[in-house]
Amino acid sequence: MATTTAATRNAQDPAPPKQPSAFEVIREDPYLEPFEQAIQHRTDVYSKWRATIDEHEGGLDKFSRGYDTFGLHQLDNGDIRYREWAPNATSAALTGDFNGWNREANQMTKDSFGVWECVVPAVKGQPAIPHNSKIKISMTTPSGERIERLPAWAKRVVQDVKVSPIYDAVFWNPPKAQRYTFKNPKPKAPRAAKVYEAHVGISTPEPKIGTYREFTRDVLPRIKDLGYNTIQLMAIMEHAYYASFGYQITSFFAISSRYGTPEELMELIDTAHGMGLTVLLDVVHSHASNNSADGLNHFDGSDHQYFHGGPKGRHELWDSRLFNYGHHEVLRFLLSNLRFYLEEYQFDGFRFDGVTSMLYTHHGIGTGFSGGYHEYFGPGVDEEAVVYLMLANTMLHELYPQVLTIAEDVSGMPALCRPVSEGGLGFDYRLGMAIPDMWIKLLKDGPGDEAWDLGNICFTLTNRRWKEKTIAYAESHDQALVGDKTLAFWLMDKEMYTNMSDLTERTPVIDRGLALHKMIRLITHALGGEGYLNFEGNEFGHPEWLDFPRQGNGESYQYARRQFNLIDDHLLRYKYLYLFDRAMNRTEDEFNWLSADQAYISLKNESDKVVVFERGDLLWVFNFHPTQSYADYRVGTDWAGEYRVVLSSDDKAFGGHDRVDKTVRHFTTPMEWNGRKNFMQLYLPCRTVQVLAH
């Protein structure tokens, strides 16, 4: 029987039906169809890497445990084995206090993959390298140059500024009696992440570097009290330059020694787990410090070991090095780095820093993302980095089902937060980075709140991809740095040093600042995503910027701190913002709006400055008007019946004027209003929000 081919088929015959895409993300979003080939190609590269790792390394589980074989390890017989990848080196030796820094005593041998190894025999059954003693790897390069480096997999590096600005690696091998034993089980992944972003070093009112123990004692109870369920710890991975805010990493497997010991960080995380708090690490795999004396740069004397050689391996704006994500040993290093923090310190997940820089060969420099899909595919995409993120999320989610991963991406790449099996990159959440930019722009450049475009505000808050979770936030840690201002500072900076006491006059500036600070945060919380984030101190309107000690300020710690003492002084008005933030999170615990469907906005009245929407079985009514209060204002709702106010920004406890009577019950009338089936009439004081439960 003859068959009809494409060449012989009659022109009038119907075309064969189009086959549905193999990728769920394309079946749900037809605008991705022109880019199916690009999604298929990156998936093929990912699959090839998985097959290679399975064949040569025994799978992702084993491959991501590089920290078990690289670095220094005490063997059962007391010997100490040291392994390091340094393919460019022509000789290598382990030196340190233990052998009088003798470069000849403990020579290393090199295998065909560029991995050096030596074993330091035990002395009378005891390790020859004492706990906490200094060590280095000494290498020669093909040119004959002698270089000394900190082991790349070192678990502890320290600095003695009295002796030298250079860091020293130490062999961290405490006796069993001194090792920390975790007592509390890890909490389940939160229903919706309410994230408290914190930096241990600045988490003290005193002008100094805070410690892990102080954070455990003083800050963890506040985070729990505020109703946050997740902590995101910044600046934990060791960075030689404190003022880099933790974003110029020098030792990836060492935690910052300036805050304390590994055991003290373990105690912090274990204590948080005991409070039911999830703990995330702010991980920096987007780049590494340019520092050669303390970090990975030129580790084996070459320009292209962990990083790309030449301009491709350098970030122009950050003055840092860029990883070669397409190299087998670099993948081992980075995947093992993630696994190490989950196993050794019991972190529960990661916020990946600088994801936009990773995703694109232009690193986002000089690029404004318009939202056109062509920007997310093609030659501008760094496919090796994309595949690394796919591998990282696969490894993490397969081995740790409760893990959380958050991407810091400003570009809005489609499918970033969809499973790899569906054509995505596998993150759980992305940060809604356009939201804080919007708020700061409004307060910095105007217009005044009397002329705010409520339609644009609501659009920015709700403009996110379906089935991709977003963490909303009103202001970022970058906006707390010197040279910029927090929301509270933009609102009230002229009077924050004179009129934040209840003993002083409540001026129009302070009254406006308190009101808008609460309203901005709540509308962001309610409309902006499926999670929420706050940078420490911003919850109570911290009055000053962040400025780390540096030459330009005389190495001062005056502004490298968070003044939690301000909320403990009950004469000051900071307590009102703190208590509102607490009430906001606790009300969400009760009504679960972050895990509800996106809101239905029934009213954006630009002249009245009123916004009304429904989300999470709650009716939200915002009156942004600076002077006009409304009696018997009609608001629509689809839900008939009785309502009560469950949260009002105008409560006296929150620094308001108590104009909303929360004892009053409100009832609907069955008549269509603003596209809803019913309406009710409410008193809406100016610059207030009230949330009503049905």
Q: Which residues are catalytic?
A: 353, 408
Q: Which residues of 445-478 are buried (b: 16+ CB within 10 A; e: fewer)?
A: eeeebeebebeebbebbeebbeebbbbbbbbbbe
Q: What are phi and psi of 644, to 5 degrees?
A: -135, 150
Q: Report how far residue 389's alpha carbon sits from residue 353's, in angstroms, rounded to the nearest whole number.
A: 12
Cα–Cα distances (Å) from 539 to 137, 432, 485, 520, 589, in that order, read 46, 18, 14, 12, 17
Tell me which H or E stretch contains 329.
helix 328-344
The token pair that represents 87 in the structure block: 């393919």
| Alpha-helical segments (H) within 171-292 | 212-214, 220-226, 262-274
In order, the DSSP letters of 110-172 are: E-TTSEEEEEE--BTTB-SS-TT-EEEEEEE-TT--EEEE--TT-S-EE--TTT-SS-EEE--
Q: At what angle do helices 36-57 and 383-399 cross, to 10 degrees?
A: 60
Cα–Cα distances (Å) from 21 to 27, 34, 39, 250, 553, in that order, read 6, 11, 11, 44, 58
The token pair that represents 89 in the structure block: 């080196």
Q: By the 8 A CB rule, do 519 and 687 touch? A: yes
Q: By the 8 A CB rule, do 582 and 574 touch? A: no
The token pair that represents 274 in the structure block: 């005991």
Task: Report the DSSP beta bridge partners of residue 71.
Answer: 83
Give the type of residue at 621.
Answer: V
Closest CA to 225 of 289, 188, 276, 262: 276
Q: Report how far residue 566's alpha carbon sits from residue 541's, in angstroms, rounded to the nearest whole number.
A: 10
Tell me which H or E stretch contains 343.
helix 328-344
323: helix, coil or strand? strand
295: buried, middle or exposed (CB in 10 Å: 19+, 13-18, 0-12)?
Answer: buried
- Cβ neighbors of 203 (< 8 A, separation 6 or more) are 210, 214, 215, 218, 219, 536, 562, 564
Give the type of residue at 172.
Answer: W
